[in-house]
Amino acid sequence: MSAPAQPHFQTVGWRWRRSPLRRRSDVVEAWTVLLLGAVTLFVAPLAGAFAGASTYDTLHAEAERQRTDGHVVRATLTEDAPAANSVDSWTLHPVKVRWNDRGGTAHTATARVEAGATSGSRADVWLDARGRGIAAPMTEDVQWGTAIAVGGAASVLVWVFTGGAWITVHAAVNRRRMVEWERAWTRTEPQWTGSRP
């Protein structure tokens, strides 16, 4: 029966103890594991939270500015929007719309509406102070969704960087360890084999 596998922290823990077998490369590897572990556990989530919060604040402020600077009118579609399909069911499509102002003057513009909207149906159109069509302010759900996506991407980038750093350091440490072992064997081999250099 084979011996049970030792937990990972026990297999690397010897690098922290004084031992004639421990080399400088082992100490470097141990400190690298500790540092990158801390980055993975603490820095990555904090970076994600900061990036997400910063993104939300920026988008929220921009949406509030658009609501303050613009206004919405109820307009009538003068053409059909493309039919909905499984590929772009969430895409908004530009269509021509018409509305009358309070004085009865007719206006036309282009508005982005959901797929499948038909001519004659009604849609909200956002206008600037000059009456030109502008993009609707980003909804709260979209703001949060974008912020979460940016925060998640920031965390993933930190994890990818951490993984890349570990691979690089581990490879360098292994190369150094092989050099150290070769030197040690050069000194020790004559004692074991009785040969002379």
**Is the pTM for the entire model greater than 0.85?**
no
Q: Residue 59 has what pLDDT? A: 94
Q: Residue 17 has what pLDDT? A: 60
Q: Following DSSP, what letter does each residue of the chain receive, concatenated? A: -PPPPPPHHHHHHGGGS--TT--HHHHHHHHHHHHHHHIIIIIHHHHHHHHHHHHHHHHHHHHHHHHHH-EEEEEEESSPPPPP-SSSTT-EEEEEEEEE-TT--EEEEEEEEETT--TT-EEEEEE-TTS-EEPPPPPHHHHHHHHHHHHHHHHHHHHHHHHHHHHHHHHHHHHHHHHHHHHHHHHHHHHHH----
Label residue 180 exposed, middle or buried (CB < 10 Å: 0-12, 13-18, 19+): middle
Q: Residue 10 has what pLDDT? A: 46
Q: Residue 19 has what pLDDT? A: 62
Q: What is the token pair recorded at 63?
A: 């949406």
CA-CA distance, 144 to 60, in Å (whole number)? Answer: 9
Q: Residue 191 has what pLDDT? A: 72
Contact 56, 140 (CB under 8 A): no
Q: Which is it for the CA torsion 176, 182, 183, 185, positive or negative? A: positive
Please give the average pLDDT of every successive group of 10 residues along the chain, which has 197 residues.
45 57 72 85 92 95 89 88 70 84 83 84 83 80 94 94 86 82 77 64
